[in-house]
Amino acid sequence: MSTLEGPIVEPQTNDKPKQLVIFCHGYGADGNDLIGLSSYFQNILPNAVFMSPNAPQKCDLNPLGYQWFDFQSGDPALIWKGVLEAASILNSFIDEQLKKYNLSDDNLALIGFSQGTMMSLHVGLRREKPMRALVGFSGKLIGEELLKDDLVSKPPIYLIHGEQDPMVPHQETINATEVLQGHDIEVQKHISPNTPHSIAEDGLKIAIDFLSSKFSKQIND
């Protein structure tokens, strides 16, 4: 059993959920940081259940927030160990929720921000079956040198980044896009002009349109 908990937004309709959208927040935040985005995505996915779990560890630098893994040490081996531990917990959480709602990876989307994007990419590329869509804001690809051996599935991905991000340079999204394309993964990118480490209106609209296109058949059924 996973130990992840966080806010949930149930479908707007009275029908059982047809999609599961999971937000993965950034370093030092919590599930409340992203769950508000569900109101925008509900317009296109009224039958979706939205979840935004708190990451599994209390944040080292912000005791009121959470972290998926510790990167303060700067030790690549320790960071990678933390990523693997968090990935196991996140995967268990995803599996539990899909089973709970009788859904499959084909009904699943992950939306990450910063460290949450790092986790979403790690998990999304290694699940047994590809999820329907993956959106990553302001993040980076960790362990790209291992991807050749680790790659299991190829979900469609959209990476979005602020041009003026002082915390995670937007070059990380450019680099990640090139690496993923090199593995024949369907990936698109967008750099939001004059945007710091945050989600800009143009990036949010792109993410909404992306999920709308990927879930279009399910939406119209």
Enumerate the active-site residues. Answer: 114, 165, 197
Find how far residue 48's CA is from the centre of its chain.
16
Cβ-contact 209, 188 below 8 angstroms = no
Angle, vertex CA 192, rays to CA 31 and CA 153, nearest 5: 60
- In eight-state DSSP terms, residue 27 is T
Cβ-contact 154, 184 below 8 angstroms = yes
Angle, vertex CA 201, rays to CA 199 and CA 204, nearest 5: 65
Cβ-contact 120, 141 below 8 angstroms = no
Q: Please state, in angstroms and rounded to a whole number, the distance separating the CA atoms of residues 19 and 38.
A: 13
Closest CA to 104 of 131, 124, 83, 79: 131
State which amino acid sits at residue 202.
D
Q: Please state, in angstroms and rounded to a whole number, the distance separating the CA atoms of residues 159 and 111.
A: 10
CA separation (Å) from 46 to 68, 100, 113?
29, 19, 23
Q: What size, in residues, is the chain? A: 221
